[in-house]
A and B are shown apart, each in its own frame.
Chain A
Amino acid sequence: MLRMDDYELKVDGHTIRLSGAFRLSSLIHYDDVFAPIKDMIESSGSVRLVMADVLFLNSTGITALARLVITARALSASFTLVGHNGVPWQQKVFSSFKRLYSDLGVEFLPSQGS
């Protein structure tokens, strides 16, 4: 588990859960933080990345996440992004990523009461 003041990353089998606010300053920092995700894509070829509790991801983070999607595409890996209906950036960004990799899995957890 990686835990910083603003965010957390937990690995559980082929599932990696991110939570918090990811607003790092450069792609180099994201490469460090996302290294376990990239390693799992490359080693196991199957990753379920749960981001439902990520409220904020800055544009640098979106680019870093796009790099993972492109890596998964290059390896024809099974890569699924799990978001939350109530987080507006996830709907838009995941839909863009689907255009980068058509086999990308995209799921959304419903808001409470919906």
Chain B
Amino acid sequence: MIYQSMVVYPSDAIQDWSCCGKMANELTRSMGLTVGASATMVSTVLNELIENAMKYSAMDSLPVRIQWGVTANGFEAKITNWSTKIQAKRTLNFIRFVRNTISTNGYIRYLYKQATSKSPHSKMGLMGICHDYPVTLQARMGGIPTESSLCQITITVGGDRKEVSAIC
């Protein structure tokens, strides 16, 4: 897999949140998907992960690295941001929870809980990706200097071209 990559900063997104969507659309186009339901789906998934990295970065001035590429079978993207170790562990545990327990009933209960919460953040991004789209999601922590409270967290998303086409 040959990745293309780019670095962006949460401070850019704070100034203009629509840049997350524009990046997702550009990445999707660079994978050869320009129009149609598959392009909409891939852009939606990438947008969620980019928004997630921007929202949960420990500091607005720390870089978010986005890597993406296509294979004969589909696509893969990796989004890496700096996070507090506590937040990174939460994300890892949440992805494990979602992957292991996702069901329609569980999703509906979670959606209801978030929709009736007072929080300004919906916390539905990773859950929605796992529930609604035929993609794999993995997370890992890295670059952890022991004295720092920060670490890098990388979320990798992969989709199989046939499965993506099948639902679109």
A-facing residues in B105-132 (Cβ within 8 Å): 107-108, 111-112, 114-116, 119-122, 124-125, 127-128, 131-132
- Interface assignment of A17: CB less than 8 Å from any CB of chain B: no
With A66-B115, A70-B116, A88-B168 given, is the CB distance from A59 to B40 under 8 Å?
no
B132 touches A89 (CB 8 A): yes
A70→B111 CA distance, assembly (Å): 11
B44 touches A56 (CB 8 A): yes
Residue of A nearest to B164 (CB): A88
A23 touches B111 (CB 8 A): no
Contact among A24, A28, A88 with B17 in the assembled complex (CB-CB below 8 Å): A24
Of A8-16, A40-48, A75-83, A92-100, which binds chain B?
A92-100
Q: How many residues of B are in contact with the other chain, CB < 8 A?
A: 35
Contact among A26, A86, A96 with B120 in the assembled complex (CB-CB below 8 Å): A26
Q: How many residues of A are in contact with the other chain, CB < 8 A?
A: 30
A-facing residues in B10-31 (Cβ within 8 Å): 13, 17-18, 20-21
Within the complex, what minimum Cβ distance (angstroms) separates B159 from chain A? 12
B121 touches A27 (CB 8 A): yes
- Interface assignment of B37: CB less than 8 Å from any CB of chain A: yes
For A27, the chain B residues whose CB sits under 8 A away are 119-122
Within the complex, what minimum Cβ distance (angstroms) separates B49 from chain A? 11
A50→B13 CA distance, assembly (Å): 29
Which of A26, A59, A63, A69 is packed against the most chain B CB atoms within 10 Å?
Answer: A59
B120 touches A28 (CB 8 A): yes
- Interface assignment of B154: CB less than 8 Å from any CB of chain A: no
For A96, the chain B residues whose CB sits under 8 A away are 104, 107-108, 111
A52→B115 CA distance, assembly (Å): 23
Q: Could you list which residues of chain B lie within 8 angstroms of chain A, going by C-beta atoms? A: 13, 17-18, 20-21, 36-37, 40-41, 43-44, 47-48, 51, 55, 104, 107-108, 111-112, 114-116, 119-122, 124-125, 127-128, 131-132, 167-168
